[in-house]
Chains A and B, each alone.
Chain A
Amino acid sequence: MSELPDGWEMVIGLEVHVELATASKLFCGCANQFGDEPNTNICPTCLGLPGSLPVPNAQAVEFAMTLGRALNCSVEPSIFARKNYFYPDMPKDFQTTQYEEPTNVEGFVQLPDGRSIGVERAHIEEDTGKSTHLGGGGRIHDATATLVDYNRAGVPLVEIVSHPVMHDADTARAYVAELRDILLATGVSDARMEEGSMRVDANVSVRPVGNDELRTRCEVKNINSLRSLGRAINYEARRHVDLWTNGESPRQETRHWDEDGGRTTSGRSKEDADDYRYFACPDLPPLTPTAEDIAAIDAAMPGLPAARRSALAVAAGVEVAETTLTVERGLDALVIAAIEAGADATAAMKHADQNLSDGQGQLTAESFAALVAMEADGALSSTQVKTVLAELVANGGEPAAIAADMGFEAMDTSELDTLLDDIIADSPDEWARFVEGDRKVQGHFVGQIMKATQGKADGKVVNQLMTARAAQS
């Protein structure tokens, strides 16, 4: 079910709502806290009591601008607007959001494979309360009553709207995954889909390949994981294709993703739902960030995944796509520093990818570089390197000392050189044959060296030394 029939392509736009990690809510001082007893974090403002007024949270605004800049958006003067509709989880029966003048416009998300997905806007808005439907198996349509908890009402959100430029479920998932990494890097949200601090709605339509029209789209909600996102998109796109192929068209509506049933179902009908009668909220003055404000945010921006991938690619001399795993693991800074300290790039990245799957731990760039050098010099065998590396991660320390403690003496190349001199002196005939190209006698020298060093010499290094020495003879 993951591919559409020939000749059709899907068009996906994603709306991602992100809860900001502020201490208090967007317009009042109630705690922004998940999981507390219902209705214990409410006040006149977030409950929308008559006479209450909103005052914006400065940290939420700063987080929103940071998020915008992290998505390469332009940060603009903005106005809060009221979106008017009735629903019990809405304390004021209007939501304070941003409409014609949002905080952030026109940015992009760069995927690990290098593609750019356009972001139309990222605006600030308040979250609603949470309704629970009683009776009817918890499903909306058969409920006998609804209970409402307003703890979440007023929590600050940023809604990130992509352009409808994705054409398959994997791209959509990669976009969300990258978005999540960006959010975590900036610290503006903990972005947990399963906990609801990052919610993804997918706008899905289809069209004949080669066409650039935009046909009727449906908004799919209730997607709670990356896996569900892929499944929901594929299901819905297929549903559309089937309808069009049968001469029908999908109805423009909101669909609900049913994870257990593996399908989307029709949500509320949209008869009068669409006229939100947006107007500028008269209780809230405009936000007008200055160039200095934005410069300060840019200056404080931590390393973002795309930039980190580029930096590592340059430092290591590899393609951006090869850096994904290292950056995902958060090991890029380590690898770059190790390279700067003299480590071989390929070796450092290989170790990061293969031997540091649990992270850096206590390992420092200096000791990492030293270890990689020891490996390059043949001072340690590959197995020994892995062991020392594990120890450095677990407990820190210094590779030469650890190797010594473990009895893996750090064998200096010059020591091996001297040893080789002695053995050549002892076996001049064998050496002469080796110089002439007889590789069979190689084992004699390697064996002698291993005996002399009690197995600590690295076979590869010995071979290199012998080859180099032979070339000089």
Chain B
Amino acid sequence: MTSAFDLAALVRRGEYSAVAAADTAFGSIKERDDEIHAFLHLTKRRAQAQAAAVDQAVADGKDPGPLAGVPIAIKDNMCTKGEPTTCSSKILEGWRPPYDATVVDRLEAAGAVIVGKTNLDEFAMGSSTENSAFGPTRNPHDTSRVPGGSSGGSAAAVGADFVPLSLGSDTGGSIRQPAALCGVVGLKPSYGAVSRYGLIAFASSLDQIGPFAHNVTDAALCFDVISGHDPKDATSIPTPLTPTLPTLNDGVAGMRIGIIDELMGEGIDDDVIARTNQAAEALTAAGASVERVSIPATIYGLAAYYLIAPAEASSNLARFDGVRYGQRVDGANVAAMNVATRSAGFGDEVKRRIMLGTYALSSGYYDAYYGKAQRVRTLIASEFATAYESFDLLMSPTSPSTAFELGAKSDPMALYMCDVCTIPSNLAGHPAMSVPFGVGDDGLPVGVQILAPMVEEARMFRAAKTLEDAAKGMS
């Protein structure tokens, strides 16, 4: 499919219409989404109006923006005004937010055309999109398998060529892991690089919005559009960020890159390790020096994450109480109504994490659980900081395995293990991205993860582009 970069250029030159691009997107969705189930709702009217506006701007000689006419899908945990926004949960079924997320504003201001909302694990909790209350999404490469999660719908929408770009959210790996499983590029920006205003919060200190794309150039283009300070998000980075597109092809000559030792052994499939080593060789061939680095605290990341994220989630999801919006199941008094509503409206994984989080914060247990996890977080962040004194970038596998079969991992812990490589950068706040690099022994996509220090996305993209170029020459 035409890249977003090329499509926008065609539209801006008046050589292709945004309306036609949108129609094409809806056509391919109609053809295959019954099978894939990437989308929960399509936003046809909004898309057609936006596309028409873009074409009109071009006709009027005005610049419609760097994403002019590009069809884009949005994960259904981001607010789109007047359009359904469910977080794949029954508790928000029917809710239409009265406002747009900042990223939605920025995309549309750049000329992008939002075609629909994509499926996710309920409230972004999961690694396979099997926790959606509205049915799972299937991996476009093999529909008996999961696309990964929680942003499975957005990853599959790009993987299936429905749209060239989509947005997901990443709290413990929810963009990068599905990107790896679906063979697309997925980026988790530096914490604070992209506004969270309008992203329905799962774990506020870990969540970030980022793009899925077929190629590194499109991901860079999208990131440059959606990132930047937002006064409505108090955790948003106030200083200007270095654009990633201009230096994309500057290569990696002279860069020092460290492969994280602890993520190249036990728990990671051999074929994934092999591909990661191949990627290291490709970077070396391009002029970087690559060597192993040990970051011991990464092995504690999973434990810390599964205390911090549920704790914040238990607080963030308290507002779903049947009072102001969403579904309500009645009760004799308001407390009974809260209980009935939440018990009926939340799925098992959400309930599990809410209880885990409530427990980790509760009186008598705070120090042992949440308090301790917060300190482990500092440890992880400081070990990364030390590593970045000797290395410009780090790398590792993205996911321990290729896409597994639907229903294969029913045990919660088994699913949690999917995030072992991605979690550390959420805890530390650094950016990281997954780049497709060959396939596994089963012929399914493998993703390699590049990690960078805070706000060094531009540097990270250079390595990603190098890998992408190298991957083209692979068998």
Q: A: which residues have CB within 8 A of B?
A: 44, 47-56, 82, 84, 86, 88, 91-94, 146, 148, 274-275, 277-279, 282-285
Q: Are A44 and B99 in contact (CB under 8 A)?
A: yes
CB of B279 within 8 Å of the partner chain: no
Q: Enumerate chain B residues within 8 angstroms of A53, measured Cβ to Cβ.
A: 196-197, 232-234
Enumerate 7 A-B pairs (CB-CB under 8 Å) in ascending A order.
A49-B324, A50-B92, A50-B325, A51-B79, A92-B318, A278-B361, A282-B205
Those 7 A-B pairs whose CB atoms lie nearest each other, nearest first: A93-B318, A282-B205, A277-B361, A282-B204, A50-B200, A51-B198, A51-B79
Let me know if B323 and A51 touch, CB within 8 A.
Answer: no
A148, A278, A282, A285: residue with the most chain B Cβ atoms closer than 10 Å? A282
Least CB distance from B364 to A in Å reads 9
Q: B236's closest neighbor in chain A, by CB?
A: A53
Distance between B218 CB and nearest chain A CB, rounded to angstroms:
25
CA–CA, A48 and B199, complex, Å: 13
- Report if B98 contacts A (CB, 8 A): yes
Q: How far is the CA of A302 from the CA of B341 in the complex (A)?
A: 52
A86 touches B318 (CB 8 A): yes
Which of these, B200, B232, B324, B335, contacts A86 with CB under 8 Å?
B335
For the complex formed, measure the closest distance between the CB of B300 and the CB atoms of chain A, giving whole angstroms: 20
What is the distance, in angstroms, from B196's C-beta to the closest C-beta of chain A?
A: 6
A47 touches B197 (CB 8 A): no
CB of A284 within 8 A of CB of B234, answer yes
- Given A54-B234, A283-B204, A283-B234, answer yes or no on A277-B78 (Cβ-Cβ < 8 Å): no
Known: A50-B92, A93-B321. A55 touches B99 (CB 8 A): no
- Are A51 and B335 closer than 8 Å at their CB atoms? no
User: Quick check: is B315 within 8 A (CB to CB) of the other chain?
Assistant: yes
Q: A55-B231, A82-B315 are in contact. Are A277 and B198 (CB under 8 A)?
A: no
Additional 10 contacts, C-beta under 8 A, given A50-B92, A51-B99, A88-B334:
A44-B97, A53-B232, A82-B315, A84-B314, A84-B361, A86-B321, A91-B319, A92-B318, A146-B334, A283-B234
When chains A and B are docked, how far (Å) is the Cα of A82 from the Cα of B362?
Answer: 13
Which A residues are in CB contact (< 8 Å) with B418? Answer: none
Q: Is the CB of B99 within 8 A of A49?
A: yes
> Closest CB of chain A to B199's CB: distance in Å?
6
* Chain B contacts to A: CB under 8 angstroms: 78-79, 85, 87, 92, 95, 97-99, 101, 196-201, 203-205, 231-235, 311-312, 314-315, 318-321, 323-325, 334-335, 338, 358, 361-363, 366, 370
Instruction: Provide the bound-state CA to CA distance between A56 and B321, in Å.
Output: 25
- Within the complex, the shortest CB–CB distance from B372 to chain A, in Å, comes to 13
Q: What CA separation (Å) do A148 and B325 show in the bound complex?
A: 13
Using A86-B321, A86-B335 as known contacts, say yes or no to A279 and B315 having CB atoms under 8 A apart.
Answer: yes
Residues of the A chain whose Cβ atoms lie less than 8 Å from the Cβ of B325: 49-50
CA distance A86 to B337 in the complex (A): 12
Cα distance A86–B319 in the bound complex, in angstroms: 8
Residues of chain A lying within 8 A (CB to CB) of residue B200: 50-51
Q: Which residue of B lies closest to A52 (CB)?
A: B197
Q: Which residue of B lies closest to A86 (CB)?
A: B338
Contact partner, B362, options A49, A52, A275, Cβ 8 Å: A275
Whole-angstrom distance from the CB of B326 to the nearest CB of chain A?
A: 9
Q: Which residues of A contact B203 (CB under 8 A)?
A: 282
* Shortest beta-carbon distance from B90 to chain A in Å: 14
A82–B267 alpha-carbon span in the complex (Å): 37
Query: Which residues of A have CB within 8 Å of B198?
Result: 51
List chain B residues, Cβ under 8 A from A52.
197
Q: Does B361 contact A279, Cβ atoms closer than 8 Å?
A: yes
CA distance A91 to B197 in the complex (A): 17
A50 touches B319 (CB 8 A): yes
- Interchain nearest-CB distance for B281 vs A (Å): 40
User: Does the CB pair B363–A50 fall under 8 Å?
Assistant: no
Residue of chain B at shortest CB distance from A93? B318
Inter-chain contact B85/A279, CB cutoff 8 Å: no
> Is there an interface contact between B324 and A277, defined as CB atoms closer than 8 Å?
no
CB neighbours of B199 from chain A (8 A): 51
Taking the nearest CB of chain A, how far is it from the CB of B123, in angstroms?
10
Residues in chain B near residue A91, CB distance under 8 A: 319, 324
Tell me the nearest residue of chain B to A146, going by C-beta. B334
Q: Are A50 and B323 touching (Cβ within 8 A)? A: no
Query: Complex Cα distance A412/B201, Å?
Result: 83
CA distance A93 to B342 in the complex (A): 13
Question: Pick the contact of A88 from B318, B320, B323 — CB < 8 Å?
Answer: B323
* Contact A283 to B197, CB < 8 A, known contacts A88-B323, A91-B319: no
Contact assessment for A44 and B98 in the assembled complex, using a CB-CB cutoff below 8 Å: yes
Contacts of A277 in B (CB 8 A): 314-315, 358, 361-363, 366
Contact of A48 among B232, B233, B234, B319 (CB under 8 A): B319
Q: Is the CB of A56 within 8 A of B234?
A: yes
CA distance A91 to B198 in the complex (A): 16
A255 CB to nearest B CB, Å: 21
When distances are taken between beta carbons in the complex, the residues of chain A under 8 Å from B197 are 51-53
Q: Which residues of A contact B204 (CB under 8 A)?
A: 282-283
* Chain B min CB distance to A272 (Å): 10
Determine whether the beta carbon of B362 is less than 8 Å from that of A93. Answer: no
- Chain A residue numbers with a CB within 8 Å of B334 are 88, 146
